[in-house]
Structure formats: structure tokens, C-alpha cells
Amino acid sequence: MARAKTTRSTARPAGPLRILTAVPICDGHDSAVTTINIELARHGIEVIYLGYHQPASAIVRAAIQEDVNVVGLSSYNGGHIVFFKEVVDQLKKGGGGDIPVFGGGGGTITQADARLMQRQGTDRIYFAGTSLDSMMAEIKRHYGRAAKPNARFKGDRALARAITLAESGLSFPLLPAPRSRNGAPHRSYVVGVAGPGGAGKSTLIDELTSRFLQGNPAGRIAILANDPSHPDTGGAILGDRVSAIYSQDDRVFFRSLATRGSLTGLSAAAPAAIDILKASGEFDLILVESVGVGQESDPFRIFGRGPKLVDATLFVLAPYYGGLIQLQKIALLNGADLVALNKCDHPMAHTARAEIQARLDQNGRGQTLHPTTAAKHFDPGVDALYAAILGLSAKSK
Amino acid sequence: MNSLGKIADSVDAYNRHVAAEVARARTDPAFATALRERWAKIRASIETTHSPTGTALPRLALPQTDEPGAIAEYLLGQGLPGEFPYANAAYREMYLDKVSGTGEEPMRLFAGLGLAEDTNARFHYLGQHQKSLRLSTAFDGPTLYGLDSDHEGVLGKVGEGGVAIDTVEDMTRLFAGFDLTRKDASVSMTMNAPAPMILAMFIAAAKRRFGPGCVPNLRGTIQADMLKEVQAQNEVIFPIDASLRFLCDMIEWCVPNMPRWYPVSISGYHIAEAGATPVQQAAFTLANGFTYAGLLRARGADVNEFGPRLSFFLDCGLDVEYLVLGRVCRRIWAIGMREVFAANPKAQILKLHTQTSGRSLIAAEFQNNLTRTAVELMLSYMNYTNSCHSNSADEPFTTPTEQYATLASHGQSIIMEESGVFKHMMNMFGGAPGLLILERQVEQAILAVFREMNTLGGVLAAQEQRYQRSKIQEAGHNYEKQIYAGTRPIIGLNKYVNDEPMPSVPLARTSPRKQRLQVERLRAFKQKHAKKAPAALQRLENVARHGGNVFAELVNTVEVCSLGQITACLSGVVGKFRPMV
Ligand code: B12
Ligand SMILES: Nc1nc2c(ncn2[C@@H]2O[C@H](COP(=O)(O)OP(=O)(O)OP(=O)(O)O)[C@@H](O)[C@H]2O)c(=O)[nH]1
Ligand SMILES: [Mg+2]
């Protein structure tokens, strides 16, 4: 079945604990969970935060794709007995029955409720007034198991586990691609997305995802979202899923990667993760978001074996990059296959557009600038950018 | 839209003006004489009243001084109750008449549980002790998020934490047996993203009962404050610009058609409960208010028409700043509205609803919550709030059950009717040294936040950068850390702990049978209107797409469409909100 492959040995015994946290559907009480998130990260845990008002199906999908150690739910608006059970049951059905579910909800979850919930598969409930420190100590004690290869995992869970193993510096299986429709090996087109912090990379990726889902009635897309780990604690709050509204779809494989000390803008496991996703033959398009970068060199170049880790790079910037001098210094503008000026609703966008286009013309590579407003729904600029990606992908085939 | 810098400057300028006038009162004899004469006239106009034990008292307490500087300081710096800059009170007499029997009592109790008929029964129960008709509605999660009760995965939430409303028929059941057209009736609805749909259902239900002519008589408030939803309460369905457009459509429709309705309640409560400090609560809320004023003005609305229709809603907790928060907010609002928006006096007055803090109420030894709420009620009334909700002691566990809701309501009556504190004399506390010191500190801290947001480009730009959310989350985290570090004493939790087992209190929960009944009713409604609904939705879609007033159309749509159908239709036109951490 799965063929094992050894990666370079950045041997770490096991990665940090990964916890998915979320608030149930029709519930916006996020004050407790945001505090818990901060505390977890402070204790060296990687928190994948999904957000409030989340249906059980989205929680289960995220738990499986992120291959977390445990799911933590914070529920206040009632209905917790039904909701926790739904998550536990759907996890079992979806191949995540080994992922425990725990949580809290202040005084709204009574001790009698908690006993019933535990009989129905919930692992534990933290009641109102539990001190944060004691909670953290217990969480680390109970859920800090290292991930091991598991041959019984299938589908997204198997991919997710392979990525987890790669993140821990362990050898991971490359799942062979199932035969594609016409017998040819299935090819994924990989686009690396870089740009300054806050330029709108994640928003743009999600909008591109919506175009992909609309345009392909059956295909799948994968997203690798790299975000920084806290330099001191080693923990991280990986919150990209919160805003990724279109990625809440079974046709999207979304994985958050903490950089874990890597200073290149990508997790050290990103190349392996790309390999794993490509080898699976599941995905037509793979989008890799680097952490915010400025004037340094291309995160997708320094790594890979061979010249490039990805098939194309998309550089995203916002109108407030400083001035012409700053613009000159952005090395990524030289090599990027695609350049998007996002936040075109910003008053400075007009000037920025002219300046950047001039900067690209200097390169003499015929690069075109794509003006986008990712925050606007159905933005024609995003449509055009998506078409350009499809164009590049078609050319490469 | 951003006028925060100007507003901060205008408050400082006003303070300098007051200081200059105080100095002039002390140096310019003619001015001093004029002030003394005015002061004497005011004093002469104050009637005398008697306490039950026979003490004679003026109905209005004024600083006991004849010194012109002090007079100027009081009249200009604070204002008589009901006079600019309204620090002391929005109106001259506030509770005096209300508690003695002629006016309306300020008490308002938030209620909502189960299906419409259950909440209706609770309204009738709570109403037995009230002179005027005060209905304040809490909705359940699916309704707050614009979803129908048959939406996938929400069944367990139906009727929990509030009432389930899917259709105009539920709305009719909700208010059965109440004369909503009574002069002293007032209905408030804690409803935000779907506020236009829910208010449209309310109007449709009222028209069915009282005829189409009743609409101008309907009186009440709908929360509909989308900015604080983005910042704190997290009930946003549509993208922010679309959410604000639907809100402004509703306000513009209400101003001429429902002259007794408050179409937005600019809320700090949720901001504070999510963790914000009192200063952050006040600063973010006032800034949101000024942003709405700017948005409406930019759409061509007249500040003197919409200004009096804006109302405010603040939290009152136990921190010392709450001694003055309402006072300071009224003052900043009045100065900003007058100086920057050129509003007339009616549009300068901040009308305030207060709720005691839910977050200050804890599960451990929960009966202490009665005392906490009582203290917060005192602080709220000391700030001369226009209306007030008191939380029930079982707040940490459940939607209040009858027993604790009654205690909460009686708590207000004990303070307002049994005790003599607010009954006889107006302005009991204004001008006290501690209050003055606090007022100055809190006001300056609020202005500093205004200026910080101003440099970020105003409320909307700051919001996009998660400014408010990150401040609130940081403060919320600090609050919890202080509790568990023991630096914030909470009796029964980290101090004087009795180690009692967690109490088991009666819970208000909705049975699965009722939840299924709600779904059946909804399905029957959809079936009944299956022929007409598509055309109604098409009309709504056209209006939304072509920039018409969506609210004006919703009033028709709700006759044949459910909440969830309408949400889906509008989402198809404007897209979905992209949430932030
Ligand atoms: C703060 C608050 C709000 C704020 C929320 C702000 C925000 N962004 O979070 C505001 C004012 C917006 C709000 C609104 C509403 N609220 Co509210 N709210 C509360 C309140 C006062 C405190 C909850 C809280 O955050 N506590 C602070 C946390 C840190 O402490 P804790 O709860 O003790 O939790 C501890 C543990 O349980 C644990 N924990 C909690 N979660 C998790 C998760 C994990 C993974 C772990 C490990 C641990 C853990 O950590 C904590 C520390 O020990 C409670 C009542 C109360 N006093 O508890 C009502 C309460 C939860 N709300 C309630 C209701 C009904 C609502 C509304 C539906 C009202 C309405 N109809 O409009 C709305 C819905 C809002 C929405 N979008 O969903 C009800 C729920 C009733 C029920 N379930 O039967 C309550 C109980 C109040 C009541 N009695 O009516 N609310
Ligand atoms: N006005 C405007 N805001 C946008 C636009 N696109 C994204 N934003 C906002 O910009 C902020 C940052 O967006 P993200 O997509 O998280 O940016 P990012 O580049 O992924 O950020 P990092 O991953 O932290 O580097 C968010 O508040 C977005 O809502 C746009 O086109 N216009
Ligand atoms: Mg990002």
C-alpha cells in the first residue's frame, strides 16, 4: 500500500501538540476560546483555530486534515449534548475516531450534562472556574502523544498523517496516486503565494478557491498555509481557517503548517508536504502560502531540490509598500510569475498600480500586474488572476 | 466617515472653553453677576419634597456654592440635568416621577426561551408587576444567525438561550395578547444581522393584529448594531458594507414611518462582556456611534432627524470606572454631535440603556450574584441610565428561570421604590470629588483611544486591521489571568472559598419534542407559501441588486418567506461575511 520514504533528518523526537479549537454552530461566544488559544500557544502548543459558528461537519473535516491530537470545543449557546455527540460520531465515521474531543462552556455545561456527554464519547469537560494553569498542565499530560504512522488511515487522514510525520522529521509514506481517468499520471499544478504580512494572501487564496470550486465540478484543491511559530514558546495560533470561508468544503484539503523555527518563510516540512499532496494525485491545484515576507529572497526558491519548489509563484502586495525605493528592493518582484496588487479599494491603489507596473516593465519579462480587491465578493480582478493561473497551468502541461 | 480626531479635539476645546469661562467668572464682575442671578433663579424654581420620615428636600440637588467660578464649572462643565453637556442626566427629572407613579419605570427584563408561546408566557408572567408594557426579546442562536430551524445541524440549538422565530406566524404567537399599540408599550429586540428581517416580521405581525394603520404607533428598539457585531458579538452574516447598507436602509425607512421606533441600539455591552475594559467599551461604542452618524449623513440623511433615533446600550460591571461611565459617555456624545455634526439639542442627547454585567456573575457560590447585581444596579442608576436590565443570579448556568428572573426584577424595585436613594432628589451624586476625578481620567483615556483609531483611519479601517478585536481579546485574557493569579478578588472563586460542590440549579431547556414542533411549523409555512415565495424572493433580489431600499421590500417578503429563505437570497446577491480571529 504505502511506500515509505526517508526525508532529511531534522530529527525532532515528535512535534508539538496540535489542538483544533472551535465554537459550535449558532454560537459566537469566543471570549473563552480566544483566551484558551493564547494560553495553549503560550504553553508551546500549536493551536489550529477554526472560529465561532462552526458546524460539526467543518470541525470534523478540519480535525482530520490537520491531523490534530485533540479537538477542543467551547460551547455556550446550549445544545451541547447534541453537538458534542455529533462531532464525536462524525469523527468516528470520517476516520478520526482516535481523535478525542474535549471542551468547556462555563456554567452552561452542568456536571450531569458532562457525565452524559462522557458516556456518549466526549473525553472531558472543564467547568466554570477551572484555573488556566491547571487546565494547561492537564492538557499537556493527557493529549501529548507523538504521532505514529498508521496504515489503517485512509483518504485525507492518511495524507494528513504523512504531513504530520514529515513535520516531526520522521519518515512518511507517499501514497501512490490512483490511476487517473485517461491512464496518465495525474498532475497537480503548484502555485506558491508570497507577499508582505497582511497584503491579503490568505483572502486571495480563499477567493481563488471559490473560483476553482465553481469552475471544476469534481476536482480538488489543496492549500498549505504556513504561519510563524512563537519564537520563545514554540507554540502557534494558526488562524487562517477562520477567514477561509470557501475552504469549508470536502473538495478542499487545507493544512496549516507552523514554521517551527524555520526562518525561510515556510515550514521545513513544506517541500515534503507538497510531495505528499502531489503524489496522492488528488489535487488539480495546490496553493502554498508563505508567511509574510518583505524584501528577502523568494521562499519558494531557497528550498527545493532543483530550481523551484513550485510551478509558479504569485507575489501579492498591497498599495502601502512605502515608496519607489522600497519597491525596487522587493526581490520577489523580479522572479514572480504572477503579481497581484491587492486592496485596490485603497485610495493609494491608483498610484501603486502605475509604480508597480513600471517596476515590472524594468524586468523585461512581460509580467502583468493583476489588480485585485480580495475583500470584495465576486471581484473581476480575482477572476482575471484565476484565469491567468489556469493559463500558466495549461501551458505547463 | 472618520471624524474621531476632530471629535477628540472638540472635547478638548470644549474643556478649554469651560476653563476660560470659569476664569472669566472669577475676573469679570458683569459675568459673575449674570451667573449668580441665573443660579438664584434655578434654585428658586426647585420644588421641595418630603421623605417618608418628614425630612424636607429639594427635588434637585445643586452644589452648595455661590462662587461664580464654581457655578460656571457646574453649569458649563457638567450641565444641569437635561442640559448640555448632559453629564448629570439626559432629562431634568429622570426617575422622580417614574417611581412615584406617573411616568414609566426604567426596568426592562430581557427574556426569551423555547418556542414563541413559551416566551409569550414569560412576557405575561414578568408583566404582571409592571405598570407599563415592557417586552424585551432574546432570540435563539439559529435566529441570531439568520438560519431556519430546519437548517442542517442546528436542531439542538433551537429555542436555547432565546426564542426560535422562523416566520411571521411565530412572531404573531410571540406577542399574542399584548396591545402593542398602547402608548406606554415598548418592545425591544436583541437582534442584529437579521434585524431587518425580524423587524419586518414584527411589523407584518402587528399589521395582521391591529390593521395596517398601526405601524406609526409601534414603539421600541431593535439592536441592529453591526459594528459591535464585527468587533465583539460575532453575529455577522453579510459582508460589512452590505450589512451596513441593510442597516441604513432600515433606519431610513423607520425615521419617517415609525416615529416611535429606535432602529439601532449602539452597544458597548457585548464589547465589555467579550473582555474590554470600561474605557475600551466606552471608546469603541461612542466611536461606532459617530461612525453611524457619519454614514447616515453621507447618505444624505439629516442629523436632526436620525440623531434622536439613535440609542445606546452599555454594560455596568464592578470596576471603579463604572461609577462614571454613563456620565462621561453622555458628555462626549453631546459635545461631538453638537460641534462636529452640528446637531440640535434633541440630537445631542445620548439615551442610555444599561445591563448589569453577566460576566461578573460566576458559577461558584452563585447566590453572591444577587449582591453583585445589586451593586451594579446602584452604579447604573447613579449614572441615570434611561432604562435598565438586571441579570439573574442563575446567569452562569441558564437562561433565567422564573425564580431568579423575579428576584432580578425585585432587586430593581427594592433600589428604586423601596429605598429612598433615587426617589426624592435628582442629582444626588453629580459633582462629588471622586466622580470628578474619575470623569476626567476616563474621558481623557477615551479620547486617547479615539486618537489612536483616528491614526488607523477611523473605526472601519481599524476594524479591518483587527484593532478592536485584538484589544478586546487581550483585555479579556488579562481579566482571566488576574482572576487565576488572585490579583482580582472574586469572592467564592479565589477568595473566601467555601469549597461547596457546584450547585445544581433548575435549567430552562427546550425539549427535542418542541424543537421538532418548530421544524414542523416551519415546514408547513413553507409549504403553504411554496407558490408565492419564489416571486417574493425574486423581487427582493432585484431590489438588493439594484440598490433600492431593501427594508421597504422585506416588509412584503416576510409575508410568505421564512428567515432562512431570505438570508439565503440576500447572501446570493451580496456574498458572505469573512470572519476574523
Ligand atoms: C460573555 C458572555 C456573552 C458575550 C460574549 C462575547 C464573546 N465574544 O465571547 C455576549 C454579551 C456577546 C453574549 C451574547 C449572548 N449570550 Co452570552 N454570556 C456571556 C457570559 C456572561 C460569560 C461567558 C464567558 O465568556 N465567560 C468567560 C470564560 C473564560 O469563563 P467560563 O465561562 O467560566 O469558562 C471556563 C471553562 O469552562 C473553560 N472553558 C470554556 N471553554 C473552553 C474550551 C476549551 C477547549 C477548554 C479547554 C476550556 C474551556 O475555560 C474557562 C476558564 O476556566 C455567560 C454567562 C456567564 N456568566 O457565564 C453568558 C451566556 C453564556 N450567554 C448566553 C446567551 C443566551 C447569549 C445570547 C444568545 C443572548 C441573546 N439571545 O442574544 C447571545 C449570543 C451571542 C452569540 N453570538 O452567540 C447564555 C447561554 C444560556 C444557555 N446556554 O442556556 C448565558 C449562560 C447567559 C444566560 N444565563 O442567559 N454573551
Ligand atoms: N480593504 C481591503 N482589505 C483586504 C483586501 N484583501 C484582504 N483584506 C484585509 O486585509 C487583512 C489581511 O488579509 P489576509 O488575507 O489575512 O492577509 P495575509 O497576507 O494572508 O496576511 P499574513 O498571512 O498575516 O501575512 C484582512 O483584514 C483582510 O480582510 C482587499 O482587497 N481590500
Ligand atoms: Mg495569511
For residue A373, give the ligand 2 atom closest to its CA: 31
Nearest CA in chain A to B577: A245
> What is the predicted pLDDT for the residue at A303?
45
Mutate to test the interface with B, among A34, A130, A208 (most CBs of B within 10 A): A34
For chain A, the average pLDDT equals: 90
Categorize the per-residue pLDDT at A377 as very low, low, confident or very high, splitting at 50, 70 and 90: confident
For the stretch B382-402, pLDDT in tens is 999 999 999 999 999 998 888
Q: Do A341 and A349 form a contact (C-beta atoms < 8 A)?
A: yes
* A18-143 matches A186-396 in fold: yes
For the stretch A124-154, pLDDT in tens is 999 998 999 999 999 999 998 889 999 999 9
Cβ contact B153–A57 (<8 Å): yes
Average pLDDT over residues B184-207: 96
B26 lies in some domain: yes
Q: Does B125 touch chain A (CB under 8 A)?
A: no
> What stretch of H or E contains B538?
helix B533-545
Categorize the per-residue pLDDT at A308 as very low, low, confident or very high, splitting at 50, 70 and 90: confident
Categorize the per-residue pLDDT at A9 as very low, low, confident or very high, splitting at 50, 70 and 90: very low
Q: What is the DSSP letter of B491?
A: B
Cβ contact B157–A27 (<8 Å): yes
Cβ contact B142–A28 (<8 Å): no
Domain that holds residue B16: 4-78
Taking the centre of ligand 2 as the mean of its atom positions, its distance from the CA of residue A318, in whole angstroms, is 9
> What stretch of H or E contains A316?
strand A312-317
Average pLDDT over residues B168-173: 98
What is the three-state SS of B516-535?
Answer: HHHHHHHHHHHHHCCCCHHH
For the stretch A75-126, pLDDT in tens is 999 999 999 999 999 999 999 999 999 999 999 999 999 999 999 999 999 9
Match domain A186-396 to its CATH number in 3.40.50.460, 3.40.120.10, 3.40.50.300, 3.50.50.60.
Answer: 3.40.50.300
For the stretch A221-236, pLDDT in tens is 999 999 999 999 999 9
The H helix count followed by the E strand count for chain B is 24, 11
Average pLDDT over residues B21-42: 97
B531 lies in some domain: no
Average pLDDT over residues B415-434: 92
Cβ contact B581–A133 (<8 Å): no
* Global pTM value: 0.95
For the stretch A24-74, pLDDT in tens is 999 999 999 999 999 999 999 999 999 999 999 999 999 999 999 999 999
Average pLDDT over residues B280-302: 96
Chain A hits for B481, Cβ within 8 Å: 132
Is the pLDDT score of B105 beyond 80? no
Which residues between 476 and 495 in chain B have a beta carbon less than 8 angstroms from any beta carbon of chain A?
476-477, 480-481, 484, 493
> What is the predicted pLDDT for the residue at B101?
55
Cβ contact B397–A375 (<8 Å): no
Helix (H, G, I), strand (E, B) or coil at B21: helix
Q: Does B507 touch chain A (CB under 8 A)?
A: yes
Taking the centre of ligand 2 as the mean of its atom positions, its distance from the CA of residue B463, in whole angstroms, is 12
Q: Do B210 and B547 form a contact (C-beta atoms < 8 A)?
A: no
Closest-CA residue to B187 (of B276, B291, B261): B261
> What is the predicted pLDDT for the residue at B523?
97
Domain spans in chain A, listed from the N-terminal domain onward: 18-143, 186-396
Closest-CA residue to B399 (of B82, B42, B111): B111
Total domains in the fold of chain B? 1
B60 lies in some domain: yes
Taking the centre of ligand 2 as the mean of its atom positions, its distance from the CA of residue A210, in whole angstroms, is 16
Which residues between 252 and 281 in chain B have a beta carbon less than 8 angstroms from any beta carbon of chain A?
273-275
Please report the DSSP string for B388-442 in residue order. Answer: EE---TTTTTSSPPHHHHHHHHHHHHIIIIISSTTTS-B-SSTT-HHHHHHHHHH
Average pLDDT over residues B365-374: 97
Q: Which amino acid is at B524?
A: A
For the stretch B500-521, pLDDT in tens is 887 889 898 999 999 999 999 9
Strands (E), B82-177: 110-111, 133-138
* Distance separating alpha carbons of residues B478 and B483, to the nearest angstrom: 9
Q: In sequence order, which ranges of A197-251 are alpha helices (DSSP H)?
A: 201-215, 240-243
* Distance separating alpha carbons of residues A27 and A47, to the nearest angstrom: 20
B380 lies in some domain: no
> What is the predicted pLDDT for the residue at A213?
97
ipTM: 0.95
> What is the predicted pLDDT for the residue at B133?
86
For the stretch B216-230, pLDDT in tens is 999 999 999 999 999
In order of B44, B121, B169, the CA distances from B426 in angstroms are 15, 36, 45
Q: Do B121 and B163 form a contact (C-beta atoms < 8 A)?
A: no
Is the pLDDT score of B299 beyond 50? yes
Residue A340's DSSP bridge partners are A316, A370
Average pLDDT over residues A163-175: 86
Q: Are strands B56-58 and B48-50 parallel, antiparallel or unpaired?
A: antiparallel
Q: Which residues line ligand 2 (CB under 6 A)?
A: A 195, 197-203, 292, 342-343, 345, 373-375; B 464
Residue A253's DSSP bridge partners are A222
Categorize the per-residue pLDDT at A179 as very low, low, confident or very high, splitting at 50, 70 and 90: low
Is the pLDDT score of A357 beyond 60? yes
Of all protein residues, the one whose alpha carbon is nearest to atom 18 of ligand 1 is B358
Query: In CATH, what is the architecture of A18-143?
Result: 3-Layer(aba) Sandwich (3.40)
> What is the predicted pLDDT for the residue at A12?
38
* Distance separating alpha carbons of residues B316 and B322, to the nearest angstrom: 6
Categorize the per-residue pLDDT at A5 as very low, low, confident or very high, splitting at 50, 70 and 90: very low
